[in-house]
Amino acid sequence: MSAGKATVKVDDATQARVAQALSQAGIQPQSVARDANSIKVRLQGTDQQLKAKDVIQRALVPDPADPPYVVALNLLSATPSWLSALRAAPMYRAWTCAAACTSCCRWTCRPR
């Protein structure tokens, strides 16, 4: 979740409200992390994610017509901390050997 308006700040109090709402709903997150502009809640499965989204939405957005926060589902990286410490990043556009060979052969091995 993140601020829906420039005047709304995401701070420790907001993080505490999110954690309290999840706790009251009986949802145990794997982690709740805050950065400069958002709070990211890591959960086990899709069912928990959908339930948590609704719980957080109800706790932080009393008037849906004028929402101070945006609550959305997001795909977070699951890179282990030891791998992140090495500054490793997910490979979003990785080529397999077959893809590299196909691309290479298409341009260099043209029939004459």
- Give 47-96 pLDDT, tens digit per residue: 999 999 999 999 999 888 989 999 999 877 777 778 878 887 766 665 55
Q: What are phi and psi of 63, to 5 degrees?
A: -120, 100
Torsion of CA 45, 46, 51, 55, to 10 degrees: 80
- pLDDT at residue 55, rounded to an integer: 96
**Which residue has 């029939």 as its token pair?**
111
Left (φ > 0), alpha (ψ -120 to 50) or beta: where does 4 sit?
A: alpha
pLDDT at 74: 85
The pLDDT tens digits of the residues spanning 2-56 come to 988 888 899 999 999 999 999 999 999 998 999 888 999 999 888 999 999 999 9
pLDDT, position 90: 67
All domains of the chain in start order, with CATH: 2-77 (3.30.70)
The pLDDT value given to residue 79: 75
What beta strand segments (E) does 20-89 contain? 31-34, 39-42, 69-70
pTM for the whole thing?
A: 0.69
Question: CA–CA separation, 1 vs 10, rounded Å?
Answer: 9
Instruction: List CB contacts of 107: < 8 A, sequence separation 6 or more.
Output: none
User: Mean pLDDT across the chain, nearest whole number?
Assistant: 83
